[in-house]
């Protein structure tokens, strides 16, 4: 396993990777062309904010399994391209929470008391006490845009300083806000009412330029604004105009639309503080994010444990994780049972599963179904939906609280050219994962190994004929069961075999009279 560390991360993180016997290369400062040339040799790419994992880089990475971001934001990674290629993108959001929140509080004080300007004045030999008069933060109203982990940490620290804290975040419930002693407002109300506004939202198409000319004009003339989140959330041209014309009092930026902000007009202003993306730049934060991303990469590669995955189809619910391998096996089983390309996949999650977000279960089913059919991509639950869509396969998911005899049941149906096949499975307390239904017939098999499924008419001698052919070919039967609705009617014989069934033997089985179909399945 080869790991490319393209930006500086902590030595402890690198050592953790090396302890797993991974080959770790630290090569920082690579340009896109350089990265494209070498990335084909690596399984893992680790970055911070400097290196850009572009579509061109990702498409050149034939072996790449994981891109790890030592930090929160992933706007320097083309997540869509990674998803299409089945490359897992994960971040390390916890390590720099405190450091970014502390920088925010520091900038609040720096703006309020004009600390950088006073320092620069003193170093010029001046003594301008009256000109450097500031305001105190106690009693002021702080507006937080984005009440995630960093925003919540800022809220706690600001409350301890005696500030009134309000927030705008459409994804946060009033109950969560109440626990933080924060009142939720609309963005317009927050802009109009607050003395100080701080941004803690990711950069997305929805948040790009969310603070522009119209929003800045709604703020108080005495207001201050701080951005320690992502460059691009604040429109820098609009901010320059607002500061230059004193429509707002002052601002502080730690992040920029282009870093470094070469050619920006903002440094010429006296009422702005600029820092070079220092939010995560503390000894403690660098140590934590480096170790955090290394731990996550190791857990995924070694144990298939997912944490802080950015491009899964849904947030991973720990209660659903045990069902993912079963769901994938059901997809694989169904694809071989159907023996032709599916036009439509129907996935129903029943029982307690119906109360969950089942997209990750559906992705696991589609992964299992497509793996035997696709050599073009490394099919996994990250890119399964996009590959299915590109192949013209409809994926339909549904839920039902009714699950028959089982607490939970996953049923998979494939429909193509007017025909359909189905299978269902569950997790049992004593036996673990089991396939409990095939084409409507009840069965009980462990989804592991080699199987021969025979649809036939239930009549004397059928088992003997099949057993004779397998015996003559020296193919050993590990177990067998027959599912039928009525004596001498349609039946399903399921044989578990000790080895894969040779094609010639399968052909002989299919020649048996009154046998409707014989399908060899490998799980």
Q: Which of 48, 230, 359, 434 is catalytic?
A: 230
SS3 20: coil
Distances (CA, A) of 102 to 109, 152, 224, 280, 461: 11, 12, 17, 10, 79
- The residues, any chain, with a CB within 8 Å of residue 394's CB and separated by 6 or more, are 343, 344, 345
Q: Taking the mean position of all CA atoms in its chain, how far away is CA 105?
A: 30
48 is catalytic: no
Residue bearing tokens 């409507």: 440
The C-alpha atoms of residue 366 and residue 368 are separated, in whole angstroms, by 5
Residue 252: phi and psi, rounded to 5, are -140, 130
How many whole angstroms separate alpha carbon 153 and alpha carbon 148?
A: 8
- Out of 85, 114, 277, 359, the active site residue is 277
CA pseudo-torsion sign 423, 313, 287, 26: positive
**DSSP E strand stretches across 439-476:** 441-445, 450-457
* 259 tagged catalytic: yes
Q: Phi and psi of 162, rounded to 5°?
A: 85, 20
Give CA–CA dist 314/349, Å, rounded.
15
Strand arrangement of the beta sheet that strand 450-457 belongs to: 477-484, 490-497, 450-457, 515-522
Rounded Cα distance, 434 and 422, in Å: 15
Distances (CA, A) of 262 to 87, 254, 267: 33, 14, 10
Per residue in 498-522, is it b (16+ CB within 10 Å) or e — as a string?
Answer: eeebeeebbebbeebeebeebbbbe
Locate 486 and state its tokens.
């009525």
Q: Please tell me what DSSP assigns to residue 500.
A: P
Q: What share of the chain is helix, strand, coil (3-state, %, to 5)?
A: 35, 25, 40
- For residues 178 and 522, give the distance between their C-alpha atoms in angstroms, rounded to a whole number: 54
Place of tokens 């400097």: 50
What does the alpha-carbon distance between residue 180 and residue 165 come to, in Å, rounded to a whole number? 9
Q: Any catalytic annotation for residue 230? A: yes
Residue 148's Cα: distance from chain center in Å? 17
- Integer Cα distance of 136 and 148 in angstroms: 26
Choosing from 23, 217, 259, 481, the catalytic residue is: 259
Residues classed as catalytic: 230, 259, 277
């Amino acid at each position: 396993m080869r790991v490319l560390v393209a930006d500086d991360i902590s030595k402890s993180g690198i050592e953790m990777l090396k302890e797993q016997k991974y080959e770790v290369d630290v090569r920082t400062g690579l340009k896109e062309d350089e990265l494209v040339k070498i990335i084909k040799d690596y399984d893992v790419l680790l970055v911070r904010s400097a290196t850009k994992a572009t579509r061109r880089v990702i498409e050149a990475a034939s072996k790449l399994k994981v891109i790890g971001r030592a930090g929160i934001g992933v706007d320097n990674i083309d997540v869509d391209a990674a998803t299409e290629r089945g490359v897992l993108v994960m971040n390390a959001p916890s390590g720099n929470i405190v450091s970014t929140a502390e920088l925010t509080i520091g900038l609040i004080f720096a703006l309020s008391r004009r600390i950088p300007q006073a320092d620069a004045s003193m170093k010029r030999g001046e003594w301008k006490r009256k000109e450097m008069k500031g305001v105190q933060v106690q009693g002021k109203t702080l507006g937080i845009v984005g009440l995630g982990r960093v925003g919540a940490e800022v809220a706690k620290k600001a409350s301890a300083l005696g500030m009134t804290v309000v927030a705008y975040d459409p994804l946060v419930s009033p109950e969560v806000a109440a626990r933080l002693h924060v009142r939720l407002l609309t963005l317009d109300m927050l802009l109009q009412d607050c003395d100080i506004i701080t941004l803690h939202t990711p950069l997305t198409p929805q948040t790009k330029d969310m603070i522009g000319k119209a929003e800045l004009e709604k703020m108080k003339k005495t207001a201050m604004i701080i951005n320690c989140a992502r460059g691009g959330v604040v429109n820098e041209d609009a901010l320059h105009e607002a500061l230059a014309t004193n429509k707002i009092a002052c601002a502080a930026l730690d992040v920029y639309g282009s870093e470094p902000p070469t050619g920006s007009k903002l440094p010429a202003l006296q009422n702005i503080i600029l820092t070079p993306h220092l939010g995560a730049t503390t000894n403690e934060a660098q140590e934590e994010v480096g170790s955090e991303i290394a731990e996550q990469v190791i857990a995924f590669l070694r144990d298939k444990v997912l944490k802080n995955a950015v491009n899964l189809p849904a947030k991973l619910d720990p209660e659903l994780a045990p069902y993912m391998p079963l769901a994938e096996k059901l997809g694989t089983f169904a694809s071989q049972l159907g023996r032709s390309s599916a036009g439509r996949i129907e996935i129903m999650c029943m029982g307690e599963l119906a109360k969950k977000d089942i997209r990750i279960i559906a992705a696991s089913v589609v992964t299992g179904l497509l793996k035997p059919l696709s050599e073009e991509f490394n099919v996994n639950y990250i890119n399964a939906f996009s590959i299915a869509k590109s192949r013209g396969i409809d994926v339909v998911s549904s839920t039902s609280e009714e699950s028959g005899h089982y607490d939970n049941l996953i049923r998979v149906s494939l429909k193509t050219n007017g025909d359909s096949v189905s299978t269902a499975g569950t997790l049992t307390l004593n036996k673990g994962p089991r396939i409990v239904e095939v084409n409507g017939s009840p069965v009980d098999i462990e989804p592991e190994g080699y199987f021969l499924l025979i649809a036939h008419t239930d009549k004397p001698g059928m088992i003997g004929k099949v057993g004779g052919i397998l015996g003559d070919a020296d193919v050993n039967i590990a177990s067998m069961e027959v599912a039928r609705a009525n004596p001498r009617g349609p039946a399903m014989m399921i044989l578990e075999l000790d080895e894969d069934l040779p094609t010639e033997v399968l052909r002989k089985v299919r020649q048996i009279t009154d046998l409707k179909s014989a399908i060899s399945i490998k799980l």
